[in-house]
A and B are shown apart, each in its own frame.
Chain A
Amino acid sequence: DAGVIQSPRHEVTEMGQEVTLRCKPISGHNSLFWYRQTMMRGLELLIYFNNNVPIDDSGMPEDRFSAKMPNASFSTLKIQPSEPRDSAVYFCASSISGASGETQYFGPGTRLLVL
């Protein structure tokens, strides 16, 4: 299996532009997670889906952030409009949901720089 696939790997954009990050989970996994990593705050959960349904989006910073999972093999995280403080590495992870948590497999991350 190719593992979790994220695109793009790097993104540089200007403040105010729309940014879309993409994730393809491991085939057969039914839970998907979006995380953000910054020097100041470390790793934070933004949102997670179970069977394509958003379960917990309490970590989404504000209305500028939105995430969708239209099917079991694809998810997007959109930032509109982007701001310099959104600069971070965004990780997607997937797992097979079960009792009391399962091992999560992380994608390589998207390094976002907003100028």
Chain B
Amino acid sequence: KNEVEQSPQNLTAQEGEFITINCSYSVGISALHWLQQHPGGGIVSLFMLSSGKKKHGRLIATINIQEKHSSLHITASHPRDSAVYICAVIRGAQKLVFGQGTRLTINP
């Protein structure tokens, strides 16, 4: 079993829908990253969080340390949000362990 599990693996939605991507992990962590990988392959860090919630524009990330679970939400989704979203947990000081990614497609 992977240390980091994401669901769903693939998600297709219509423009404007509210999107939720989930991440569960089975190990102790110091923090968690949400990353976005564009269709061209570039990777951007969206959030790093160790507790509570963070918001940036239409993106919201939450984490529940006790339940070992994090969610990434996108409000008013747009086709430009189409990408692979990757959850990564930080083991120790800086070592990232990645989930398998969620491929999101937003249709106009």
Residues of A within 8 A of B (CB): 31, 33, 35, 42-45, 48, 50, 55-56, 89, 91, 93, 95, 97, 100-106, 108-109, 111
User: Among A42, A93, A101, A108, which residue has its beta carbon within 8 angstroms of that of B30?
Assistant: A101
- Pick the 6 closest A-B CB pairs, nearest first: A106-B43, A101-B90, A100-B30, A43-B98, A101-B31, A103-B45
Secondary structure dominating the interface of A: strand
Q: List 26 A-B contacts (CB under 8 A).
A: A31-B94, A33-B96, A42-B86, A42-B98, A42-B99, A42-B101, A45-B96, A45-B97, A48-B94, A48-B95, A95-B94, A100-B30, A100-B93, A101-B48, A103-B33, A103-B48, A104-B33, A106-B35, A106-B43, A106-B44, A106-B45, A108-B42, A109-B41, A109-B42, A109-B43, A111-B41
Residues of B within 8 A of A (CB): 30-31, 33, 35, 41-45, 48, 50, 86, 88, 90, 92-101
Query: A45 to B95, Cβ gap below 8 A?
Result: yes
Query: A97 to B42, Cβ gap below 8 A?
Result: no
Nearest A residue (CB) for B40:
A108
Contacts of B30 in A (CB 8 A): 100-101
Nearest A residue (CB) for B42:
A108
